[in-house]
Amino acid sequence: MTSVADAASLWSAIWLTLELAACSTAILLLVGTPLGWWLCRTRVWWKEVAASIVALPLVMPPTVLGFYLLLFLGRDGPGGWLAGLTGARTLAFSFEGIVLGSVIYSLPFVVQPIRNAFEAMGDRPLEVAATLGARPWDSFWSVALPLARPGLVTATVLGFAHTIGEFGVVLMIGGNIPGETKVLSIAVYELVETLQWRQAHWLSGGMLVFSFAVILSMLLLQKRTGRRT
């Protein structure tokens, strides 16, 4: 009976992790694409300050980011009003909360490839589109986005994979609630903490193979893009 319960808990963590990664990646693309475009095209002097804020999760310890997000999202925190949008008392220790934390933590992994793709495109294609009568909005959808497709694919893969492997931020914001916030990385930690080495080996091995597949796909994608260029 215990093994059945353990298997059910493991599958719950797997599906919850995939759901978290899918939701976070969708939001990251919706937010990261216009943000990457703005960072590429704007000429305001403080744009690199904004880019540095976006890139903070690259160097900030996940537990530090999770701690401040926990304070922000708490019922008495300045971001407590966000809970009203979902009907919850607080976003801390909820699925919505770990989605928000994952989006913030993975944002630089999505914004940077998109920004690089837009910058590599240069101004020439947009200038040609403008001479043909295309409006800026039309140029963005029909010229910029298709040319930046490799960067968008890279951003999607990185955002999804990075969310799969998150631990510190998710643990600080969501804790370890089965079916609500217990994702794969936390499940591995719990297995090791309870000395269930065999199950921890299987789960960790699966995540290791997944990580290798992500890196290999990224290298092949970059090689293919380089050949096209």
The winner for highest mean pLDDT among 48-57, 124-133, 176-185, 191-200 is: 48-57
pLDDT at residue 227, rounded to an integer: 57
Report the CATH number at residue 51: 1.10.3720.10
When pLDDT is cut at 50, 70 and 90, the band that residue 1 belongs to is: very low
Report the domain count for the chain.
Answer: 1
Instruction: Round to whole Å and give the CA distance between 80 and 91.
Output: 7
Alpha carbon 160 to its chain's center = 6
Using pLDDT thresholds of 50, 70 and 90, give the confidence band for residue 99.
Answer: very high
* End-to-end C-alpha distance for the chain, whole angstroms: 57
* Residue 8 pLDDT level (bands cut at 50, 70, 90): confident
Nearest-5° angle of CA 197, CA 171, CA 60?
A: 110
In tens, the pLDDT along 26-59 reads 999 999 999 999 999 888 989 999 999 999 999 9
pLDDT at 111 exceeding the cut of 90: yes
Q: Around Cβ 34, how many Cβ atoms within 10 Å? A: 13
Q: Region 142-159: what's the mean pLDDT?
A: 88
pLDDT of residue 119: 92
Alpha helices for 42-167 (secondary structure H): 47-55, 62-73, 83-86, 95-121, 124-131, 136-139, 145-147, 149-164
Percentage of the chain beyond pLDDT 70 is 88
pLDDT at 84 over 70: no
List phi, psi (to 5°) of 7. -65, -40
pLDDT at 102: 94
Identify the pLDDT of residue 194.
Answer: 85
Are 107 and 52 contacting, i.e. CB atoms less than 8 angstroms apart?
A: no
What's the predicted TM-score (pTM) here?
0.86
DSSP states of 69-100: HHHHHSTTSTTGGGHHHHT-S-STTSHHHHHH
For residue 140, the model assigns a pLDDT of 87
Range of the domain at 25: 2-228
